[in-house]
Amino acid sequence: MNGSVPVSDAKRAQVNAAIERLGYRPNAAARALVKGVRSMIGVIALNTVRYGYARTLQGIEEAARRAGYLVLIAVVESEDRESMDAAMDLMLGQTVAGLVVIEFDPVGVAISRALPANIPVVAAAAAGRTRSPHPHAYLDDRVAAREATEYLLGLGHRTVHYLAIPATDSRTGRALGWRQAIVDAGAPLHEPLGAAYDPASGYSVGHALAEDPSVTAVLCGNDELAIGLMRALSEVGRRVPEDVSVVGFDDQPFAAMWTPALTTVRQDFDDLGRRAFGLLDSLLTTGRAPRTSTARPLLVVRESAAPPR
């Protein structure tokens, strides 16, 4: 493989075919340990600038640094298969002892499933996945979304609409928690409106909710969608929370400074990153790790939700 021993072309072709069939990659981490090189771990993510991704990365890096690891980051440039393969090949070609995959999106889930079994892998996720091939740390956003929806229903709203971020799995996450709360309460169920992650998407998609006079309460998939929705409501003359109650998700730093201050679900992404690294560290040092590590987000009540008029 490394060219140090002469072999025939036929033998080289046979070995290369076996490498391709098995998905084999040299264990660069083992070679690095033999040579006394400081160990490294890798992180693969679709995004590194959005709030949840960035804070999770910070938590991973801080915990890894304390444990003596360097952190390499591979960003998937787009959602096509070639970009995912390029990110995996780039990372697996380095001297990484193990990997953390951020599964906040379908790309992260696909990469997690595609990684070879001969390298330690853990996932940092927004929701638990019973079929996850690797140990995963997650934030129980399904329970948090259910509680946020129950809070709005408890204020007296007839139902709660949902402005949704892209989902990683139809059987998990905040959309499922929202739906469970609506069904359990016997309230009218409206299909969620799908948006992206950014305020502009919340604004454009949210206009359909803003212009519907029957809408009095909306749960948003993140704080940025909530801000976009509130702008759309303002433009059609509907006030928050007097006419429409709005609840966000994540508790980004601007949420408390907005007017009205945003009621939202606080998710500790830094802790998520630390817990994900803890699972990986356990795999690297003992060969074993718990299948899951979970934390429960907290509903933070501020000013953007109130009983309906």
Q: Which tens digit of pLDDT belongs to each residue from 253-276?
A: 999 999 999 999 999 999 999 999
Given a cut of 70, whether residue 171 has pLDDT beyond it is: no
Whether 141-266 and 25-139+269-297 are alike in CATH topology: the answer is yes
pLDDT at position 162: 97
* Measured distance CA(297)–CA(248) in Å, rounded: 12
**Closest to 112 in 3D by CA, of 94, 140, 137:** 137
Cβ atoms of residues 116 and 23 within 8 Å:
yes
pLDDT at position 185: 97
Given a cut of 70, whether residue 5 has pLDDT beyond it is: yes
Cβ atoms of residues 47 and 106 within 8 Å:
no
* Measured distance CA(100)–CA(44) in Å, rounded: 6
> Tokens in use for 272?
């998520």
Q: What is the mean pLDDT of residues 292-302?
A: 95
Given a cut of 80, whether residue 204 has pLDDT beyond it is: yes
pLDDT at position 167: 77
pLDDT at position 32: 52
Q: Which fold is adopted by the domain 25-139+269-297?
A: Rossmann fold (3.40.50)
Neighbours of 154 (CB within 10 A): 10
Instruction: Give percent above pLDDT 90 in the chain.
Output: 71
> Tokens in use for 170?
């139809």
Given a cut of 70, whether residue 38 has pLDDT beyond it is: no
* Measured distance CA(128)–CA(255) in Å, rounded: 26
pLDDT at position 243: 97
* Measured distance CA(137)–CA(225) in Å, rounded: 25
Strands 292-295, 161-164: pairing is unpaired
* Measured distance CA(211)–CA(238) in Å, rounded: 9
Q: List the chain domain ranges.
A: 25-139+269-297, 141-266
102-119 burial by CB neighbour count: b if 16+ within 10 A, else e? bbbbebbbbbbeebeeeb
CATH number of 141-266: 3.40.50.2300
Please write the tens of the pLDDT for every residue from 123-137. Answer: 999 887 767 789 999
Please write the tens of the pLDDT for every residue from 208-245. Answer: 999 999 999 999 999 999 999 999 999 999 999 999 99
Low-confidence winner among 41-55, 89-103, 125-139 (lowest mean pLDDT): 125-139
User: Predicted confidence band at 35 (pLDDT cuts at 50, 70, 90)?
Assistant: low
Task: Give pTM, 2 decimals.
Answer: 0.83
* Measured distance CA(24)–CA(167) in Å, rounded: 32
User: Predicted confidence band at 295 (pLDDT cuts at 50, 70, 90)?
Assistant: very high
64-98 burial by CB neighbour count: b if 16+ within 10 A, else e? beeeebebbbbebeeeeeeebeebbeebbeebbbb
- For 263, which DSSP code? B
Low-confidence winner among 9-23, 160-174, 236-250 (lowest mean pLDDT): 160-174
Neighbours of 212 (CB within 10 A): 14
Tell me the pLDDT of the chain averaged across its residues.
91
> Tokens in use for 167?
């989902």
* Measured distance CA(221)–CA(90) in Å, rounded: 32
